[in-house]
Amino acid sequence: MSQETQKWTSFDVVKGMLANLAVSDIPASIPRLHTALCQLQKQQAFARLLADYVFEDRSHFPFSRDFQTDLVNLEQSGHLSTSNPDFITYSIRQKLKTTFENYGKPLFTAEEGNLLKQMADEFEKALDLEPVSA
Amino acid sequence: MTESAPGSGSVACDAISTPHSQFQEEIDDFLDVYLPAAPEKSGSRKIVHDGLWGTLSLDGGELAFVDTPLFQRLRQIRQTGFAFLTYPSTTHTRLEHVLGVVYQADKLGHALLKSKGDHEFAEQDIGHLRLAGLFHDLGHGPFSHTSEEIYGDLSQLDELRGSLKDAKPHEILTYLILVSQRFRSFFRDVYPDDTSIDEIAGYIVGSDLKADRKFKREILNGPFDADKLDYFFRDSHFSGLPLAVDMDRLCHTMRIANVKGEPRLVVTQSGATPLEQILFSRMVLSTTVYQHHKIRACDCMFAGIIEYMKRTAQPMRFGKRDLDWSSPVHFLWVTENEFHSLGCRTEDARLHDLIHNLFYRRLLKRAMIISRHTVKMSDNDRWDELQRLAKRGCTNARRKIARTIWENAGKPCLPEEVWLDLPELPNMKSADDTYVLQSEDQTSEPISLNEHMPIGQWVKNYGEQKWRGHIFCPAECRDRVAKAAKSFFETEYKVRILPAAFEWCKVHPPT
């Protein structure tokens, strides 16, 4: 549960994590994305940030309806995009980094901001990605 | 399954906590009225005729449950809520649906019996699945998912949602009914040697049992389960939407195979087509029927009635009980007839009008349409923050916005008559959760339907294109509310609302 002084939501956390990724493309695979985030939630450092996501295990992989809704939301609002015909990759658009910088980042403390960066690194590893050099 | 079937042994469902004690007391109070102390012994089988599937046979044990007020109340709960006000034939009730689920569970179970190979699956398992089908909607309230959207937001369910792994609110209520001492006692009277009630309850909330039992659960709670197969056909038939799913092919192609080390329901490659049909049917039904704007308006009006009763401290009197809608269990007491009659009995003229407007189809109108086609976004907008409110648990935030719009429009009506409606965004995990055999001899690992063909992504994109949110209000207020809504969204979310947002709902675009 969020603390009283906390202004951010789990959606802000996801946006912050994605905005801090070193890569510009991630797999749009539901099993991989949800499994990766579920793994992060189990790490003590990130548990509070991701506490609002409930993962069910009825499927072959952990699944959070709220996380999936957040991803679809980011797609609908132009922060993530996928391309025809397979839609197998999410591209992280500049809009996500811009809006997080303007609206999301001020909601976090400096310590929480560092945690978001660490979370992004761990998320990439969990997705089994190589970072793209700048 | 006979009335005295040998016990299959109780199965511990992992991570299910003891319900809150007050919650359980309320459930017990409800069952005191709706579940007799002991079953009526019939012992004989009966044939029930269903308009969709033909004849269904129920054994004496199943009939003992059917012949209780707990089950019979489902006759007064419409399967598709207020859809009948738009699709007049959709007056089918939860009772027909649960009987249909029993039929489908039986059919899927017997198809699996022929193709199970070395996996443990027997007639007795089919009996348990039939019972799970019979019980699975006992926790529904008036107008089904309409009332579920309201009580699902109440905080009492939060503590259970985590331990029941994100089960739906009505599934949680059903689960609480089944594991109550009263129901357990009734179950023991009907099936003295069978202790499987926990297993049956587990099927309903999808709470996983032992690894070797997951494929059994999937017959009732999975990507192409008995529940979906009945309601696709039933809802599409009665709404007049011609959707097609090749059921026979699905049954013939079902197998049990190891997926990541666990036996799961899969289909052969020729079963992929009916699965694709199910995915499309579900999305078309959702966008055309369940999320039809008039039906969504009705849902808002129902919620508005509850809200008005809370605001004016007018609980609904039910015998000696005052139902103030503060608990999910309050919604179990009331069926649709009783709710309708409240409009006739109340002395509050506004409450009378709110209820009569709903039941006599004087519905709220659209003042504005919210979709990717009616909003021009920028690189610095906050549109995602509005869409975020489509998630459950955000009702208060949506109501706050609607209230602001109502105030800015000059309070032209009751606050309970202006609504920001944001239906759930499309969610397509089924295609990743359904597996296809690559070869009949099962030498290679099954692949997901999405890997077989990216059907999930296409269906999701269809849903995203068709998704619509709305601002609803009474017809006479539309122009004022439209103007207030446009100004609010453009200021708060830094977007431009296009003229189409108003033209599509026949409102003159505000200047």
Give tens-digit pLDDT for B472-484: 999 999 999 999 9
pLDDT tens digits, B30-54: 999 999 988 987 678 999 999 999 9
Interface probe, candidates B175, B259, B389, B429, chain A, greatest A C-beta count within 10 A: B429
Q: What are phi and psi of B47, to 5 degrees?
A: -105, 130
Residue with tokens 């069978």: B194
Lowest mean pLDDT segment, chosen from A56-70, B8-22, B284-298, B407-421: B8-22
According to DSSP, the β-strands at B254-259 and B262-267 are antiparallel
pTM: 0.91
CB of B153 less than 8 A from some CB of A: no
Confidence of residue B454 (pLDDT cuts 50, 70, 90): confident
B166–A88 CB contact, under 8 Å: no
A69–B383 CB contact, under 8 Å: no
Quote the DSSP letter at residue A107: G
Helix ranges (DSSP H) in A42-132? 44-47, 65-76, 94-99, 110-127
State the pLDDT at residue B507: 94
Cα torsion angle, B157, B163, B166, B167, sign: negative
Residue B274 near residue B243, CB atoms below 8 Å? no
Q: What is the 3 state secondary structure string of B306-347?
A: HHHHHHCCCCEEECCEEECCCCCCHHHHCCHHHHHHHHHHCC
B432–A61 CB contact, under 8 Å: yes
What is the tally of helices (H) and strands (E) in chain B? 25, 13
Confidence of residue B10 (pLDDT cuts 50, 70, 90): very low
Q: What chain A residue is nearest to B452 in terms of C-alpha separation?
A: A86
Closest to A67 measured CA to CA, from B165, B391, B151? B391
Interface probe, candidates B17, B266, B432, chain A, greatest A C-beta count within 10 A: B432
CA distance B293 to B316: 28
Closest to B507 measured CA to CA, from B365, B404, B296? B365
Interface probe, candidates B160, B166, B376, B467, chain A, greatest A C-beta count within 10 A: B166
Chain A residues touching B387 at Cβ < 8 A: 73, 76-77
Higher pLDDT, B293 or B215: B293
Quote the mean pLDDT of chain B: 89
Enumerate residues 307 to 366 of chain B having a beta carbon within 8 A of any beta carbon in chain A.
none
Residue B152 near residue B168, CB atoms below 8 Å? yes
CB of A84 less than 8 A from some CB of B: no
Closest to B265 measured CA to CA, from B121, B130, B128? B121
> Is it the case that residue B241 has pLDDT exceeding 70?
yes
Closest to A39 measured CA to CA, from A15, A62, A57? A62
> Is it the case that residue B160 has pLDDT exceeding 80?
no
> Is it the case that residue B261 has pLDDT exceeding 90?
no
Higher pLDDT, A97 or B279: A97
What ipTM score was computed for the predicted complex, to two decimals? 0.88
CA distance A127 to A36: 6
Chain A residues touching B433 at Cβ < 8 A: 59-61, 63
State the pLDDT at residue B239: 95
State the pLDDT at residue B439: 80
Confidence of residue A19 (pLDDT cuts 50, 70, 90): very high
Query: A30 to chain B, minimum CA–CA distance in Å?
Result: 7
State the pLDDT at residue B501: 97
Of B388, B448, B458, the CB nearest to A11: B388
Q: What chain B residue is nearest to A100 in terms of C-alpha separation?
A: B380
CA distance A16 to A116: 6
The C-alpha angle with vertex B28 and arms to B24 and B33, in degrees rounded to 5, equals 155
Interface probe, candidates A18, A67, A77, chain B, greatest B C-beta count within 10 A: A77
B390–A103 CB contact, under 8 Å: no
In sequence order, what are the residues at sequence separation of 6 or more whose Cβ sits closer than 8 angstroms to the Cβ of residue A112?
A8, A49
State the pLDDT at residue B424: 87
Chain B residues touching A64 at Cβ < 8 A: 166
> Is it the case that residue B290 has pLDDT exceeding 80?
yes
Confidence of residue A10 (pLDDT cuts 50, 70, 90): very high
Q: What are phi and psi of B424, to 5 degrees?
A: -60, 140
Confidence of residue B165 (pLDDT cuts 50, 70, 90): low
What are residue B14's DSSP bridge partners? Answer: none
Q: What are phi and psi of B36, to 5 degrees?
A: -60, 160
Interface probe, candidates B218, B219, B388, chain A, greatest A C-beta count within 10 A: B388
CB of B458 less than 8 A from some CB of A: yes
Chain A residues touching B384 at Cβ < 8 A: 11, 15, 73-74, 76-77, 79, 99
Task: Tell me the mean pLDDT in the region B249-264.
Answer: 87
B424–A69 CB contact, under 8 Å: yes
Start-to-end Cα distance in chain A: 37
CB of B442 less than 8 A from some CB of A: no
CA distance B398 to B503: 23
Q: How many CB atoms lie within 10 A of CB B251?
A: 20
A73–B390 CB contact, under 8 Å: yes
Task: Tell me the mean pLDDT in the region B100-128.
Answer: 90
Task: Tell me the mean pLDDT in the region A38-42.
Answer: 94
Greatest pairwise CA separation for chain B in angstroms: 74
DSSP-derived 3-state class of residue B151? helix
State the pLDDT at residue B422: 95
What are residue B47's DSSP bridge partners? Answer: B57
CB of A57 less than 8 A from some CB of B: yes
State the pLDDT at residue B196: 87
Quote the mean pLDDT of chain A: 88
Task: Tell me the mean pLDDT in the region B239-243.
Answer: 89
Chain B residues touching A95 at Cβ < 8 A: 379-380
Cα torsion angle, B198, B199, B204, B210, sign: positive
Chain A residues touching B426 at Cβ < 8 A: 72
State the pLDDT at residue A112: 95
Query: A133 to chain B, minimum CA–CA distance in Å?
Result: 25
CB of A61 less than 8 A from some CB of B: yes
CA distance A92 to A79: 6
Tokens of B158: 């939060």
Confidence of residue B259 (pLDDT cuts 50, 70, 90): confident
Query: How many residues can be counted in chain A?
Result: 134
